[in-house]
Chains A and B, each alone.
Chain A
Amino acid sequence: MKKTTAGYREISHTADWALQVWAPDLSGLLVQAARGMTALLDLQLAEAPRLEHLLTLDAADPESLLVSFLTEILYINEQEHLGFDAFQVSLDGLHLEARLWGAPVTTQRKEIKAVTYHQLAIQTTPHGLETTLVFDV
């Protein structure tokens, strides 16, 4: 199957969940990873009210930024019962400012315990960046 320029797909993992994610650049990769993780959570969102959440993060390296970004989204999901379906990420080096749009969760069928660093490495490909994320479930 031919890949689009940016996207994600679930790949096989015996105990947990794994996502392959690709995009032209790091901000796009972060957005695709957030979209993929949200799909795994199997969320249904209320039609209203629509909410916007702002997020600011700094990290030591791109992989840590990816883990921290997704971990923040999981924390908001659990603590505030919010789900997000649109993401905008701006980067200044490894300083991230993100806008997340979403709504209260009406049903959620799956839970992710953690975003892991397992063999996490963001690779450069001819089309941009690619990585594989493993989530503990």
Chain B
Amino acid sequence: MGFSLSIFHKISDYQWEIPASYRHDLRVPVRFLATRKVLEAALDDLSVEQALNAATLPGLAGPVVIMPDMHQGYGFPIGGVAAMLYPQGVISPGAIGYDINCGVRLLASAVPFEAAAPLLDKLSAALDSACPSGVGAKGALHLTDADLSAVCRQGAAWAVKKGLGSAADLRRAEDGGALDGADPTRLSARARERGREQLGTVGSGNHFVEVAVVSDILDPAAAQTLGLFPGCLTLMIHCGSRGLGHQVCTDYVHDFQSAVQRYGIQLPDRELVCAPLNSPEGQAYLAAMRAAANYAFCNRQILAHNARQAFEQVFAGRVRHAELQPVYDITHNMGKIETHLIDGQNVKVCVHRKGATRAFGPGAPGLPPEYQSLGQPVLVPGSMGTESWVLVGQSASMDLTYGSCCHGAGRVMSRSQAKRTVRGDALKRQLEDSGIQIRAGSLSGLAEEAPQAYKDVQMVVETVVGAGIARQVARLRPVAVIKG
């Protein structure tokens, strides 16, 4: 807190930078993708300080980059992207986050909203039942130890092999819904225990299942390729690796407290503890993080299957074309080995994205063949009362942000203030009056997630589009939200 706009060097209307010379311990500059308005709003919390602290990590390959949905988190701010030289740089569990591979999956249908509207209440109830959410929610699957290891190795493919999805689901997911190099033996007994009963659950906090209508299409050709039809229903799932992932991060943040001493690493925040990627500690975390990431991919796959069954249960015999087709599945909290052009050279790096998504441009490796000419879909949820956006990554993201983009609207109001100023029951009524069905496990939790606690998603999207890292395809208007 206490930063002034004067410390930022303006590069363009959408890019600002704090030079490495600002503080003696900074190894690289910090670049903010923001308009003046976005930046001014960020001065009110600790996000700038947290971004500066991340710029002290050893082995950074280039500037730390902060997205316009930035806000204060712990260690690294939400909306942060950092590229560490591989393998001599470090990996920091706290700079990736506790909810490893928290992410978003979008599915689309050809069901017109008008046909679905009379059944929306039934659909909300069916989704609420099919996608367990809230504190202590357990999934219908009870995994053996061998099952859990297979989930952590195979990711979404584990569910597809069991008939809970299709090959298209895997093709239309970041990394095909599974990261190579996952090693379930790197998980603690506690992580395994916590993961055993939570597969196929949404969780709480800002996680949700949302039915929306494609309200605006800005790029008809791209929308058609993505399977988005004007006026038709979509379904978005936001969740992650549940207790298994939280435990992986807890375990390794704890272990790395001593690792930083062994490797002589000094940091301004103990939450940023790290270990060299080529050290036994770094390799162990990388393998455990990938196992947790695969659990999260599988979690969203199972929830997508359950949501499809809910659609079928409600719409069968009443509405045609009720199938939910995959649009894409993207990840938010991850460390990934990628190659980026840095200072004119192709450099292998471990990109830490915390509350930020990958957003590769057209022609990038790893995109499904049908999306090669478009770029990677980028899914930007707003808040439960406001629009969400479907964007596609542009080539400039490779130059400016290590192929990354914003992950949502970003919070602007603290949870404590939201609880003081918003009544959960009144908010529920207000949202329902505006045509949005709400199923919430906790009214106080609902209040913490009130739309007014979030930034204007339009402003965030305009910033990434203005910076040239993504372009708009479609806008989604929420009509039913299931929250824990």
Contact of B254 among A16, A64, A120 (CB under 8 A): A64
Query: Which chain B residues lie closer than 8 Å to A71 at the CB level?
Result: 250
- B135 contacts partner chain A, Cβ-Cβ < 8 Å: yes
- A52 contacts partner chain B, Cβ-Cβ < 8 Å: no
Produce 1/0 per residue, A39-57, CB < 8 A to B.
Answer: 0001000000000000000
- B98 contacts partner chain A, Cβ-Cβ < 8 Å: yes
In the assembled complex, the Cα of A114 lies from the Cα of B253 at a distance in Å of: 11
> What interface size band does chain B fall in?
35 or more
**Interface contact B205-A116, CB-CB below 8 Å:** no
**Interface contact A14-B414, CB-CB below 8 Å:** yes
Shortest beta-carbon distance from A130 to chain B in Å:
17
Query: Which chain B residues lie closer than 8 Å to A117 at the CB level?
Result: 75, 94, 253, 257, 269-271, 273
Produce 1/0 per residue, B238-272, CB < 8 A to A.
Answer: 00000100100110011001100000000001110
Contact of A116 among B74, B135, B258 (CB under 8 A): B74
**Interface contact A13-B414, CB-CB below 8 Å:** yes
**Interface contact B416-A78, CB-CB below 8 Å:** no
Chain A residue nearest in CB terms to B75 = A118
Shortest beta-carbon distance from B292 to chain A in Å:
12
Binds B, one of A26-34, A91-99, A103-111: A103-111
Query: Which chain B residues lie closer than 8 Å to A58 at the CB level?
Result: none
**Interface contact B270-A63, CB-CB below 8 Å:** yes
Give the total of A residues in contact with B, Cβ under 8 Å. Answer: 34
**Interface contact B203-A111, CB-CB below 8 Å:** yes
**Interface contact B98-A114, CB-CB below 8 Å:** yes
Contact of A111 among B72, B204, B253, B257 (CB under 8 A): B204
| Contact A15/B135 with A71-B250, A113-B98 known, Cβ cut-off 8 Å | no
| Contact A118/B71 with A67-B254, A110-B204 known, Cβ cut-off 8 Å | no
**Interface contact A109-B193, CB-CB below 8 Å:** no
Query: Which chain A residues lie closer than 8 Å to B417 at the CB level?
Result: 12
**Interface contact B413-A109, CB-CB below 8 Å:** no
Query: Which chain B residues lie closer than 8 Å to A12 at the CB level?
Result: 414, 416-417
**Interface contact A137-B415, CB-CB below 8 Å:** yes
- A68 contacts partner chain B, Cβ-Cβ < 8 Å: yes
Contact of B71 among A14, A75, A108 (CB under 8 A): A14
- A37 contacts partner chain B, Cβ-Cβ < 8 Å: no
Q: Which of A78, A81, A136 has the most B CB atoms < 10 Å from its CB?
A: A136
Contact of B94 among A10, A108, A116, A137 (CB under 8 A): A116
| Contact A11/B246 with A75-B190, A113-B98, A136-B98 known, Cβ cut-off 8 Å | no
- A17 contacts partner chain B, Cβ-Cβ < 8 Å: yes
Shortest beta-carbon distance from A42 to chain B in Å:
7
**Interface contact B271-A118, CB-CB below 8 Å:** yes
Shortest beta-carbon distance from B208 to chain A in Å:
14
The 9 closest A-B pairs by CB, nearest first: A118-B74, A117-B270, A118-B271, A109-B442, A12-B414, A14-B72, A116-B74, A114-B98, A111-B204
A/B interface sample: 15 pairs, CB < 8 A: A13-B414, A13-B416, A14-B46, A14-B72, A14-B411, A14-B413, A71-B250, A109-B441, A109-B442, A111-B135, A117-B94, A117-B269, A120-B271, A134-B74, A137-B205
